[in-house]
Structure 1
Amino acid sequence: MSTSWIDIADSAVKIGLGGIIGGVATLIAGMQRNRHELATERIATERERERELRSNRRRLLETATASVEIFFRLHETVAREAEGAALRIADQHNPVTANEREWYRKAFRVLCDKDYVAAADEARAQITTLKLASASGAAEALKIAISTALGYRDTLAGPKSDGIIPSVDVATKARTEFREKCSLFEKELVAYYDKI
């Protein structure tokens, strides 16, 4: 059998067309695989970035909590001293002398002085830290707790207090109110921490 040039051209076209189709299919498959790899890398990068953001937020929350705890403990000391003084003064069997009253006034002023103010300022600065960490509920609760504490502190040792020692009811109520505000702050903080 003799092969004519038409048969040769026909075979060449079939082989070439098969090669072109195979090449195009390989090219399309390669592009698909490349697109899939890029999408996988992008997802992995986004997950890593999200993980790092959560880690940074948690670190901010932990730092803020540590600073706030110092203020809370210091205020609890002030409130406990005020309650103790009120109980001592309310004791009818053992009346408080003028010297003891003066000692209480000085003690409140010392307790509410530089260390207290510095701790309160640091706690207030943590409101911004909490907002940066997107914990606005916790930041608002902290703001309320600090405001409650400073209001009571001003009652005890503010310029208009004149060293007046609160009654047992006032001291106990103020301490309970502060604890409630602290508890609200802690709940908000835990809820946000669990969310991230």
Structure 2
Amino acid sequence: MTDREHIAGSSHPLPPSAISRRTVLQLAGGSASFAVIPGVSAQPAPAPGDPGKVLQRVRLIVNGEARELELDPRQSLLDLLRETLDLTGTKKGCNQGACGACTVLLNGRRVVSCLTLAAMHDGAEIVTIEGLAEGEELHPLQSAFIEHEGLQCGFCTPGQIMSGVACIAEGHAGSPEEIQFWMSGNICRCGAYPGIVAAMAEAAGAG
């Protein structure tokens, strides 16, 4: 009969001197795994990939197409666009609302989609960079960005253009200084600001 059998309740236990430290530690670990809190029944562990999320049904019009989705109410509009709808033109930069790379139009107004909960905008109309062109014809601001080289690496460009479209529609593109002020929430780490301002001025008819 083993030490484990003796300590577990044999009618002929070994004297304390015959019990090793290793045996005590092994049994203590084993006993802990069978501990039961009185009045609480054991519950099976949740299956992997099933965290018990409550989904919310949301209807959106994205780039002119009606979409009905079931989503986690905590999901950002940015993650919905990129991960669910595969519209990866909208970029995830800082994910804190500070760089503007994720700017899209929400009911005609520019928003940073990383800080916008998709579930809060049931019935809203969303326009992303993929929805600006008319078939093969680029939006005037897209063409102006190309002409004035308003980009280098291009990572911030979708957010710059979406913010620029809204900025022009808001009437905030009357001068280079006004453009710089109202576009200050969009950061270009390459420093292509002169081209961005020139492109917006041309598209707005201000230059």
* TM superposition score category, shorter chain reference: under 0.3
Relative to total residues, which structure has the larger helix share, 1 or 2? Answer: 1
Structure with the bigger percentage of strand: 2
TM-score of the aligned structures, taking structure 2 as reference length: 0.23
Q: Which has the higher contact order (CA 8 A, sep 6+)?
A: 1
TM-score if structure 1 supplies the norm length? 0.24
Q: Select the structure of larger CA radius of gyration.
A: 1
